[in-house]
Amino acid sequence: MTLDRRRFLQLSALGIVAIVADSACAVSSDRTDAAIDRPQLLVMLGPERVRQLGAYYRASTPSENSAGALRSALSSGQGSHIPLIKRGSLDDQVRDDFAAGRTVVVDGWVLSVTEARQAALFSLTPA
């Protein structure tokens, strides 16, 4: 099953995106997924550190210790943006997190909740 942008928006509006996205992303490696599990952090900290941070996050947040749970959390992001559509939206969401104080400290790094979840998703991808 693929999930194009138009279909995603419709589902999102109906509030069922999390469920669909979970199953969709499990079998897809399309562009949308790439944005979800490729946080900006990768550029700054490198894949090894980000993978480690993601693992720490999952360990410290048992309720989000699966790809489905993380995607669900990301898609129901607390900002005003519709997440998971494209890179720019996620980046905005990350900035909004920082501005609103929605941060989490993972291995000492002060991260946006969104990017911490992205890192956690990244940690579930093959190295």
Taken in order 47, 82, 106, 95, the sign of the CA dihedral is: positive
Q: How far is the CB of 112 from other proteins (least distance, A)?
A: 6
Which residue in 20, 36, 73, 111 binds other proteins (CB under 8 A)?
A: 111
* Structure-token pair, residue 57: 């996050």
Q: Considering beta carbons, is residue 25 or 121 the nearer one to other proteins?
A: 121
Question: Shortest CA distance to 73 belongs to which of 95, 49, 97?
Answer: 97
Site membership for other proteins, residue 97 (CB under 8 A): yes
Copy the structure tokens of residue 6: 């138009």
Using the rule CB under 8 A, is 105 a contact of other proteins?
yes
Structure tokens at 84: 């998971």
Q: Which residues bind to other proteins, rule: CB under 8 A?
A: 40-41, 43-45, 91, 94-95, 97-99, 101, 103, 105, 107-112
